[in-house]
Amino acid sequence: MRAPETADPAPAAIEVRSLRKAYGEVEAVRGIDLRVARGEVFALLGPNGAGKTTTVEILEGHRQRSGGDASVLGHDPGRNERALRQRVGIVLQQTGVDGYLTVREVVQMVAGYYPHPRDTDEVLALTGLSDQANRRVRKLSGGQKRRVDLAVALAGDPELLFLDEPTTGFDPSARRQAWETVRGLAALGKTVFLTTHFMDEAQALADRLAIIADGRIVATGTPDELIGSGSAATRIRFRLPPSVEAPERFGAHRVASAWELETDTPTQSLHDLTAWSLETATELADLEVTRPSLEDVYLQLTAEEAAE
């Protein structure tokens, strides 16, 4: 594709402009722009049906786009070129392997398709499958099979890894383990493009993320930027003795047995509040200041999109 027109000297791993995909009358992806730098962990976050899988499958070469430009490691993914497939690893949402082969055989088989594969024992260790190496895939648990998916994607030592909802269906400890593996990949300098509908996953793993809703990107940035950019405010929460009302000027409202207020100037609000507390000798029990989470921003943004 064409060179990036920005001054940014770092070559992009993925660059997408005005990407569109229609299935008949239905537009699943409605003109999105994305740029993923090399070595970055990028998350595409969105609710089910927002267009995440369609987008990632276009970038993987599994689907043809209806419009717009896409470049993956300098290749057009729509051409399904072998030179590109040699540099990319893919974990699809649902895939199978021959259940009668052992874990090691499957990884070795796939490694043989690539010009410079990663050592099989290394791949097994990286995905926590060393102990299962000689077991047949059909005998593994669901979580272990998902790790085989990841091991197969890593077998060719790809520069870029696509993970489509890599932890859906995992129990909490398996999720943490998978996160550690993804962080390990980032440490190896791999570019990772993942989709997820878990806010905490995006927040925990992604250097940058984009929120997709109804086929459009509604926000993009680092997790911190997104939290800061949202109109979701800092929340201050406290309890008062039953007989005491919070003065109206604080804009606080009752939430169950506590009081809550939202503010864009948390230092000032907290200062006013504690000053009043000292003056009137009213204790602010269980005082709590919380920043908006990515979840708040996400729910707000996706709700706005749905309302339009």
Partner 1 sequence: MNDLALAVRQIGYENRAFWRNPPAAFFTFVFPLLFMVIFNVLFGAEAAAFFTPAIIVFGVVTATYTNLAMTVTIARDDGILKRIRGTPLPGWAYLAGRIGHAVLIAFLLTVIVAAFGALVYAIDVPWSALPAALLVLAVSAAAFSALGLALSGFIPNSDAAPAVVNATVLPVLFISNVFIQMENAPAWLDTVSHLLPVRHFADAMMALYASGADASLPWTELGVIALWGVIGVVAALRFFSWEPRR
Q: Can you give the binding site for partner 1, defined by CB under 8 A?
A: 60-62, 82, 85-86, 88, 90, 92, 94-98, 100-101, 105, 109-110, 112-115, 136, 152, 156
**Amino acid type, 17:** R
Nearest residue (CB) to partner 1, 116 versus 249: 116
Compute the least distance from the CB of residue 61 to partner 1, in Å. Answer: 7
Q: How far apart are CA 216 and CA 218, in angstroms?
A: 6
Which residues make beta-bridge pairs with 290? 235
Compute the least distance from the CB of residue 78 to partner 1, in Å. Answer: 14
Compute the least distance from the CB of residue 219 to partner 1, in Å. Answer: 29
Complete DSSP assignment for 220-276: EE-HHHHHHHSSPPEEEEEE--TTPPPPGGG--EEETTEEEEEES-HHHHHHHHHHH
Compute the least distance from the CB of residue 137 to partner 1, in Å. Answer: 10
CB atoms inside a 10 Å sphere around CB 12: 22
Sheet holding 234-239, edge to edge: 253-255, 258-263, 234-239, 285-290
Q: What are phi and psi of 20, to 5 degrees?
A: -130, 145
Nearest residue (CB) to partner 1, 55 versus 302: 55
Compute the least distance from the CB of residue 39 to partner 1, in Å. Answer: 22
Compute the least distance from the CB of residue 139 to partner 1, in Å. Answer: 11
Query: Interhelix angle for 142-154 vs 172-187, to 10°?
Result: 10
Nearest residue (CB) to partner 1, 105 versus 262: 105
Compute the least distance from the CB of residue 88 to partner 1, in Å. Answer: 8
CB atoms inside a 10 Å sphere around CB 119: 13
Cα–Cα distances (Å) from 236 to 17, 273, 281, 285, in that order, read 41, 10, 19, 12
CB atoms inside a 10 Å sphere around CB 216: 17
Query: Which structure tokens are listed for 170?
Result: 């995992």
What residues have CB less than 8 Å from 202, skipping those under 6 apart?
43, 45, 196, 209, 223, 294
Nearest residue (CB) to partner 1, 58 versus 199: 58
